Amino acid sequence: MNANQQLNLKDILLKALKSKLNFSDYLALILYENWETVCGGEIGKKTKPKAFHKDILTVGVDNPVLLFELGFNKKDLISKVNDYLFSLEKKKIFAEKRITVRDIRFINN
């Protein structure tokens, strides 16, 4: 199986889950699958989105030092996530409502 076939299978599975999961869980799954693209490789490897509820994204962090550091970079990360979500809206993936992350809560894994 080549990379294009794997991507297609991934897309098919994500589309199938869209009808099975509630919107917040589906959004968290989409962010989880694309997290390194959303926030960059270094942070993306050491953090993962866990949940999205009432415009607050919960992100698990590998170590307490990074957790502390991310507190200072929260606005930048919120901006990156919202830019990504807006790009999904433009592709009509989330046409049903406007999605905006208002805050990020970092937790230790």
Residues 58-90: pLDDT tens digits?
999 999 999 999 999 999 999 999 999 998 887
Q: What mean pLDDT do residues 16-38 have?
A: 87
Predicted pLDDT at 4:
56
* Residue 21: per-residue pLDDT: 80
pLDDT in tens, 34-63: 999 999 989 999 999 999 999 999 999 999
pLDDT score for 16: 79
Q: Which domains does the chain have, with CATH numbers?
A: 21-108 (3.30.300)
- Specify the pLDDT at position 18: 74
Q: Measured between alpha carbons, how far is 64 from 50 in angstroms, rounded to an integer?
A: 17
Q: What H or E segment, with its residue span, contains residue 67?
A: helix 64-72
What are phi and psi for residue 36, nearest 5 degrees? -65, -35
Burial of 47: CB neighbours in 10 Å, binned 0-12, 13-18, 19+:
buried
56-65: string of b/e by CB count within 10 Å (b at 16+)? ebebebeeee
Question: What pLDDT is stored for residue 103 in this prediction?
Answer: 98
pLDDT at 31: 94
